Chains A and B, each alone.
Chain A
């Protein structure tokens, strides 16, 4: 388990109950967004994992953040052990309830994020971007965007994308990638994107092809020209990639 995982679990016992008591207050700060389904129902308090003394933890001065993190650790623990207290009305109801609960927690962290770099938030974003749930990935990416770009984020972003096939996650990640212009990051990003255009899922390929333009540069364009030569002209992502490359060329020459 990654270090942040131990921190999260350690915080659980001391703060979870308090969090539940304060949950309604926090809920009021959540953005008013349309939901496709009702909130997951918490029907009993979850069992929490064993903990260690956390009195000297550096995030003790941020009680609200700590409460949220501990709640997330508790959810993660209950899912891993099939102990989650959410209504089990269909095979995926618990999975989505877990995803929504974690998403809500990450959204709260995002709302409370200041403009100052916060290592805990960044690590949380990275940890949950590789969580096997697109609701969680989506929220983690939004949280990551509140923090200054860190080159170490790129491998995590690529790992999370490799696990996902979802167009929405790809669309968001392509925006996030624009914050990593350094050569090393760009090399890894474009190796991944060009590979995905060649052999990835159909929705991921289309999303990349349609949203690639801001990431194109003279350093990477030849990679995509090479990809294009390998694609059938009949494929929708091939047509989109061709159009984007042509647009890039016009931008270089002034139209």
Chain B
């Protein structure tokens, strides 16, 4: 990597570590696209300011404006008119710049100004992985290739179907469907339309890659491993062998070696640790039951609802509403469910005698879990015992099939509650039916869940269908 300005300038655009120290540590020196973007933003700021300076006659004085922008870029904003001062120590740099500007000498290093770039710089600038643009055409039968769809999904073609993940960085998960290597090839919408497609959630990856630990699980580190801002990025600190960490995110790179990285929190800082490749991952980590610090509450723990508006409890993650759990309520976690590219968390909880899912925020890029619920040592209040009551089928109906939930639109069960009509037809003990005795199990609105004493069948029916005793 090029260094200049007494070692402070880094890379093609000489990004200065005296302000951009953290960026340089994160690769802004060697990452050529980031380096150019940072440099050009600085140059453009000076370019915009230049027409306001006395040394630039007008905004359309292009040559002078460029010289001013360079002076500021090279010497700092206060030096924007440096090029007009022949006695300044660093005016020699301005002379060098204008010489190149006038002679267009950079063209000496370009063989073909019309050539298509083999680098998809926009893709790289937008921080996508596996960026490519080789200008070639996609083969007719793209077997054993990673394919990039126009919406950013990455797929492989296996047995006539597209098997896809939402983003490039999870493409290693697709090894379950076949082998591939190298950068992704663009696959047009018209090509993709010829195949059926299945889109997999990234968290299904743990089933595709041996020993990959899921978000929320705990691992014991078997070595002291550097904690880095990104997989393979800048070192933050070093985790401790033998310590137990909760996995906050996973990244798998290299579809052949299946290198894995886990995001953990160590000493109050969040970063990624390398966790080995497919052939040696057991040398780096091993699963354990409990992390030393739990950031994502797990089954058996309790959470305190912190969302000021409370949280909706739903039948499935994001599904139909059961009820709302008020703010400041403590509930038991039955299970923790993770989904999506941002590691969205849903807790399966018990509340009000029912079980359902509540949203818990996301992990990436900046966790919002605390906005919704936090782990607590407190235990939920014991619900008051449900005053069970019994009754018999109402004498206003013949019979009513039970439902699987508390709505008329819900599906019927095979069980039914008998009302008075059939009882009235009974005569001298010849009738099989009497008004059914039922026990109420729970209620929801105008509906009751009941157990039929006759056969133990359970289900929902309108509360008014029973004469309660």
Residues of A within 8 A of B (CB): 36-37, 79-80, 82, 88-96, 98-99, 132-135, 163-166, 168, 201-203, 210-211, 213, 233-236, 240, 243, 247, 250-255
Contacts and interface: CB of A to CB of B under 8 A. Distances in A.
Given A36-B17, A36-B21, A240-B365, A202 B125 contact: yes
A95 B312 contact: no
B16 A96 contact: yes
A92 B8 contact: yes
Contacts of B4: 90
Q: Which 6 A-B pairs have the closest CB atoms?
A: A95-B76, A255-B359, A132-B77, A36-B21, A90-B5, A165-B41
Interface stretch (B87-95, B132-140, B253-261, B446-454): B87-95
Interface string B1-33: 000111010000000111101100000000000
27 contacts: A80-B78, A82-B88, A90-B8, A91-B90, A91-B93, A92-B75, A94-B76, A95-B78, A96-B18, A96-B76, A132-B78, A135-B19, A163-B49, A201-B44, A202-B37, A202-B125, A210-B365, A243-B342, A247-B362, A251-B309, A252-B309, A253-B312, A254-B307, A254-B309, A254-B310, A255-B358, A255-B360
Interface centre among A240, A247, A254, A255 (most CB of B within 10 A): A255
Contacts of B38: 203
B342 to A, nearest CB: 6
Given A251-B371, A254-B324, A255-B372, A37 B126 contact: no
B453 to A, nearest CB: 39
Nearest to B17: A36
B8 A165 contact: no
A186 to B, nearest CB: 19
Residues of A contacting B: mostly: helix
Contacts of A240: 365
Interface centre among B5, B18, B42 (most CB of A within 10 A): B18
Nearest to B360: A255
A95 B307 contact: no
A91 B311 contact: no
A54 to B, nearest CB: 26
A50 B434 CA distance: 109
Given A202-B37, A240-B365, A254-B311, A233 B152 contact: yes
B151 interface: yes
Contact of B74 (A92, A99, A210): A92
A210 B152 CA distance: 20
A22 B77 CA distance: 31
A37 B17 contact: yes
Interface string B350-382: 000000001111100110100110000000000
Contacts of A251: 307, 309, 371
Interface centre among A213, A234, A252 (most CB of B within 10 A): A234
A89 B6 contact: yes
Size category, B interface: 35 or more
Given A202-B41, A254-B312, A168 B90 contact: no
A250 B44 CA distance: 39
A211 B366 contact: yes
Interface string B65-88: 000000000111111000000001
Contact of A88 (B19, B22, B89): B89
A36 B18 contact: yes
Interface string B224-246: 00000000000000000000000
A253 B372 CA distance: 12
B45 interface: yes
A80 B128 CA distance: 43
B127 interface: yes
A235 B126 contact: yes
Nearest to B21: A36
B78 A79 contact: yes
Contact of A168 (B18, B22, B49): B22
A90 B17 CA distance: 13
Contact of A92 (B5, B44, B324): B5
A164 B49 CA distance: 12
Given A251-B309, A255-B312, 17 more contacts: A91-B75, A91-B93, A92-B8, A95-B76, A95-B77, A95-B78, A98-B76, A98-B78, A133-B77, A163-B45, A165-B42, A168-B22, A233-B152, A234-B128, A251-B307, A251-B371, A255-B372
Interface centre among A79, A163, A202, A235 (most CB of B within 10 A): A202
A73 B58 CA distance: 31
B79 A95 contact: yes
A252 B324 CA distance: 13
Nearest to B314: A255
Contacts of B360: 255
Contacts of A202: 37, 41, 125
Contacts of B74: 91-92
Contact of B6 (A82, A90, A210): A90
A201 B41 contact: yes
Contacts of A94: 76
Contacts of B362: 243, 247
Contacts of A252: 309
B151 A233 contact: yes
Contacts of A79: 78
Contacts of B311: 254-255
Contacts of B18: 36-37, 92, 96
Contact of A93 (B6, B41, B358): B6
B41 to A, nearest CB: 4
A98 B77 CA distance: 12
A133 B6 CA distance: 20
Contacts of B127: 236
Interface centre among A36, A98, A135, A233 (most CB of B within 10 A): A36
Given A92-B16, A163-B45, A251-B307, A234 B126 contact: yes
Interface string B320-362: 0000100000000000000000100000000000000011111
A250 B75 contact: no
